[in-house]
Structure 1
Amino acid sequence: MTTILVTGGTGTLGRLVTERLRADGHEVRVLSRHAEPYAVDLREGGPGLDAAVAGADTVVHCASTPRGGDERAAANLIAAARSAGARHLVYISIVGVDRVPLGYYKAKLAVERLVEESGLGWTVLRTTQFHDLVVQMLEALAKPPVLLLPSGVCDQPIEVAEVAARLAELAAGAPAGRVPDMGGPEVRSFQSLARAYLKATGRRRPSVNIPVPGRTFHALREGGHLTPERAVGKGTFEEYMGRRFGSGSAG
């Protein structure tokens, strides 16, 4: 079996990727800012990063933040992986990074290009949003007494464990370039997702649909972040909510 480095290996996705790879018999190293022995800030690089990559056959790059620095982190990782002779770099990206003009999406697209031009064998997988991210957004929107929802916007949430299984499969294989996208099983309006969230949490909120201007929300209304033709996910939003909140008495 191979030695695989997982960046962001303590995060929502990276932790599950690590568990899956270890269950399949691979030697896995976890890199994150606070996880010894490979506690590394990728934006800074340095000897700790070199030590983490040394001897690794494959690098699965899950570390990411909307707060900035992804491009610098990726450049440092790629340089270290090249120096160490890694054969395969696997990167997780987001459906729509080339169509939705969010700053974070632009950074993810820039990292894709760095990976493609790295000189390493590479694989890039794009997926739709994870269930838990949709819940985070709805939790924020539900704090006021009235739930304000962007009109005309849909989402296609996917189960993170399914993405982790696919990434582990890709990491164990040969470099494959840009592989087919992964989307959740259903394209859902935000209103529908909000109703499911309120029911699962036992909350009551009146909701109002509001038109949101700007290029980003225009792209979202056009479905730039969706991939209905690749609705390969199995786990539904309601199933996730049932596991997380139980019978709906959490509110």
Structure 2
Amino acid sequence: MKVLVTGAGGHLGRPTLARLREDEVDVRATGRRARQDSDVEWVVADLATGDGVAEAVVGVDAVLHLASSPRSRTHQVDVLGTRRLVVAAAAAGVQHLVYVSIVGVDRVPIPYYRHKLAAEQVVAAGPVPWSVLRATQFPQFLDDLLASSSRLGPVIGDRAVLAQPVDPGEVAARLAARLVAGPLGGIEEYGGPQVLRFDEAVRAWREARGSRRPLLPVRIPGRLGRELRAGGLLTDALPRGVRTWADHLADTYGGTGRK
């Protein structure tokens, strides 16, 4: 099997490439700039413009579509770019397209999530046999969120928001299994092993960093806050990952007491 991986340089792309290499899968990876890698064939493709997309899918059996742009050009990359990829994959005779999405895109009213949901619909409506894997949030995202929310001193956030961090390496393993299983023609969800309240996550994060920053609770208003507190980002789907938030903190900070 030859597999094309879009977004191969991201938080999920890197462990996905590593997992596919372990499984001795023939891999082609896309990026917007040329790269050199003795183990992976890198090609230049830009989903926002379509440059290189048709060429990238030639000769591949399956596509793992991980690429996303949450901060800029989201509609161009996530929705229109996904449509370009589906059209090109169909023309090239690709037999399976796996799209990676996020648990809660159909419930939580975040603009980025609306684009992800629209991209899911593009994949489902297209002619290429497909699967969608919705994953819960990565611990790196939660870590970055806590760092950014504490720039002014205290950690600011809604103490009752619920999250279910899942390790990217475990999502990568799930993607590899989905390739072997073949097209689902539907949506699969995959989450981490534990549900955390925001204040619980903050407490463990502070301890791992040796920080004394207090939590300044700020309640998120409206429907967004209600969905986040009610578990809009959670899934009860099985199987689940096994690596915990504590595992991520131990790997990242190692009990060194960093501030």
Common topology (TM > 0.5): yes
**How many angstroms apart in 1 are the aligned matches of 2:210 and 2:236?**
30
TM-score, normalising length from structure 1? Answer: 0.95
The question of 1:222 aligning with 2:221 is answered: no
1: CA distance, partners of 2:217 / 2:236: 23
> How big is the shift at 1:22?
1.7
* Number of aligned residues: 249
The equivalent of 2:48 in structure 1 is 43
Residue 10 of structure 2 is aligned to residue 6 of structure 1? no
Question: SS state of the match for residue 93, structure 1?
Answer: strand
Q: What is the correspondence of 1:160-199 to structure 2 with a 5 Å cutoff?
A: 160-199=168-207
Whether the aligned pair in 2 keeps the contact of 1:5 and 1:30 (CA below 8 Å) is yes
Match of 2:219 among 190, 207, 211: 211
SS at match of 2:118: helix
Structure 1 residue ranges, 4+ long, deviating more than 4 angstroms after superposition? none
| Cα deviations by residue, 1:164-223 (Å, 9 ceiling, x for unpaired) | 000111123311122431111111100000111111111111112121212212211121
Q: 1:62 aligns with which of 63, 66, 88?
A: 66
Gaps of 5+ in 2: 36-41
Note the alpha carbon deviations across 1:52-103, whole angstroms, 9 max, x for none.
1000100000001112131011011111111111111001111111001111
Structure 2: which amino acid aligns with 1:65? Answer: S
* Matched-pair contact (CA < 8 Å) for 1:187–1:228: no
Report the counterpart of residue 21 of structure 2 in structure 1: 22
Aligned partners of 2:135, 2:46: CA distance in 1, in Å?
25
Task: Map 1:70-89 to 2 at 5 A.
Answer: 70-89=78-97
User: Which residue in 1 is equivalent to 2:209?
Assistant: 201
- Which TM-score applies when normalising by structure 2? 0.92
Is 2:149 the partner of 1:145? no
Name 1:95's counterpart in structure 2. 103
Q: How far did 1:230 drift?
A: 4.1
Q: Do 2:96 and 2:129's aligned partners in 1 also have CA atoms closer than 8 Å? A: yes
**Pair 44,139 (structure 1): closer, same or farther in 2 beyond 3 Å:** same
Counterpart CA distance in 1 for 2:94 and 2:253 is 42
Distance in 2 between the 1:226 and 1:248 partners?
31
Counterpart of 2:30? 31
Distance 1:208 1:224 in 2: 23
* Letter matched to residue 257 of structure 2: S
Q: CA deviation at 1:229?
A: 5.0
| Residues 126-177 of structure 1 deviation map (CA, whole Å, 9 limit, x = unaligned) | 1110110000100111211222221321111111110000011112331112
Moved more, 167-176 or 51-60: 167-176
Paired with 2:34 and 2:66, the residues of 1 have a C-alpha distance of: 15
User: Aligned partners of 2:208 and 2:61: how far apart in 1?
Assistant: 43
Alpha-carbon shift at residue 248 of structure 1 (Å): 3.5
After TM superposition, the structure 1 stretch with the greater mean CA deviation from structure 2, 37-46 or 235-244, is 37-46
User: What is the letter of the counterpart of residue 63 of structure 1?
Assistant: A
RMSD across aligned C-alpha pairs, in angstroms? 1.4
Q: CA deviation at 1:231?
A: 6.8
Distance 1:19 1:114, change over 3 A: same
- Structure 1 CA distance for aligned equivalents of residues 15 and 34 of structure 2: 15
SS at match of 2:131: strand
SS at match of 2:12: helix
2:189 is paired with a residue whose SS is: coil
Unpaired segments of 5 or more residues in structure 1? Answer: none
Q: Which amino acid aligns with 2:233?
A: H
Q: Name the stretch that deviates more: 118-127 or 206-215.
A: 206-215
1:155 equivalent in alignment to 2:154: no
